[in-house]
Structure 1
Amino acid sequence: MNDSQIPDTATRRSRRMAWILVGAFFGPLLLAFLLYYGGSFVGDGAWRPAGNTNRGDLIHPARPLPAFELVTTTGEKLDARTLDGKWNVIFVGDGQCDARCREALVLMRQTRLALNDDMTRVQRLFLVTDHCCDQTYLDAEHAGLITATLDSPDGQSLLAVFPDTDQGRIYIVDPLGNLMMSYSREAPQKGLLEDLKKLLKLSHIG
């Protein structure tokens, strides 16, 4: 073997080893990238992991509430300013309040109480679509609940922002008046509390 070939062989061996090391280092990163984003390329998205940990259904993009002015069942004015600066947990439904309605209102009440010192940052609303209202039940079981009817043009405009109101959902509106999350009746009972704790911890408003 020509002595001049020895450096070339050594150089090739060194380069080969360098590429092996590069592959060993970057290979897993490339694989992770392909597994995460591969669904975008092949169309099934089967490999992409869940991108969030919230228990409710995120409303994306968030829906700003329109300007509105309603009257509560106690005769007070309810408008967008009533919601400003607080996290608002809202149920939309018939004022006769069937089993799902009562279940949702109890969950909203107990969730707020479970927030302890942070409970003052959250208020509860019951927006009534019709047959208002079983006031005896509401007064006895849900002190502090804000109840208002949607039987006005402003009410109907507000109602149109909420998706799937016929499914007994609970909604969250942020302190800036954006509808941003909802919970079906099948959602975990503790899901609302878990999500609110995270939102309150991360929020610098409300």
Structure 2
Amino acid sequence: MKASDSGETELTMHSTARISAARRRCRARLTIIAIFVVCAAPIVAAFFAYFVVKPHGGQTNYGELIAPQRPIPADLQVLDEAGRPIALAAFKGKWLMVSADSGTCDKACVTKLYYMRQIRTLQGEQRARVLPVWLVTDDAPIQPKIRTAYAQTRMLRADPAALRAWLPASADTSLRDHIYLVDPVGHLMMIFPKNPDPVKINQDLVKLLKWSSVG
């Protein structure tokens, strides 16, 4: 075989190898995109069915939809019940009902905890998909009777400044006035009004759990 023929053969082999590698990379990217679409589709479908289709006309949701959605900040650290630091994003995978308040927990605070507990219970077989979270915004000790009464609620201590940067409030309310809903992907998606109607919160959650298989 001539040297020129050998060189051309080697060049062709290299070209074929590069094309094959490029095709493998393309297939890998398409696979990743397909996985993302499959995972996100149920939540997107739930939002579309609940907030866009609106079969009965008008606004169907009680809570205010957060737009654009706010993902849990990757650097938002909390302390668990044992005082160990953990990223709040570690709780992704469930629907989170979130309250932020002082550890002293006055009547309004207890009311929010009670609502969240009861709304979760009302989901019946679906309740395992819902996690009540109390973000304690100071170092005040939590009363033992509250820990006992709300044992299914995760009680995590968080920096109030970091929470205010993530959780919105209106001009005439504060962080502690609201219950928030975070979807299983980790996006803050709803804020409920001060002195909320738990029946209407429950209606929102029931619809979301029905339309979404995620979480």
TM over 0.5: yes
Tell me: CA distance 1:158–1:167, structure 2 relative to 1, closer, same or farther (3 Å): closer
- Structure 1 stretches lacking a partner, 5+ long: 1-48
**Structure 1 counterpart SS, 2:93:** coil
Q: What is the rounded CA distance, in whole Å, between the counterparts of 1:159 and 1:59 in structure 2? A: 15
| Residue of structure 2 equivalent to 1:175 | 184
Q: What is the rounded CA distance, in whole Å, between the counterparts of 2:134 and 2:61 in structure 1? A: 23
| Residue of structure 2 equivalent to 1:132 | 140
Deviations along 1:75-133, one digit per CA (max 9) or x if unpaired, are 35532443211000000111111111000000000000010000000001111112433
Letter in 1 for 2:179: I
TM-score in terms of structure 1 length: 0.68
1:202 aligns with 2:211: yes
Counterparts of 1:34-183 in structure 2, within 5 Å, are 51-67=58-74, 68-151=76-159, 156-164=161-169, 165-183=174-192
Q: Which has the larger helix fraction?
A: 2
> What is the CA-CA distance between 1:180 and the residue it aligns to?
0.7
**Rg larger for:** 1
> What is the CA-CA distance between 1:137 and the residue it aligns to?
2.8
Contact 2:132/2:153 (CA < 8 Å) preserved in 1? yes
Contact 2:179/2:191 (CA < 8 Å) preserved in 1? yes
1:192 aligns with 2:197: no
Aligned length: 155
TM-score in terms of structure 2 length: 0.66
> What is the CA-CA distance between 1:167 and the residue it aligns to?
4.9
Letter in 1 for 2:119: T
Contact 1:96/1:132 (CA < 8 Å) preserved in 2? yes
Q: What is the rounded CA distance, in whole Å, between the counterparts of 1:161 and 1:50 in structure 2? A: 31
Q: What is the rounded CA distance, in whole Å, between the counterparts of 1:199 and 1:77 in structure 2? A: 31
**Structure 2 counterpart SS, 1:194:** helix
| Residue of structure 1 equivalent to 2:12 | none
> What is the CA-CA distance between 1:150 and the residue it aligns to?
1.6
Deviates more, 1:124-133 or 1:70-79: 70-79
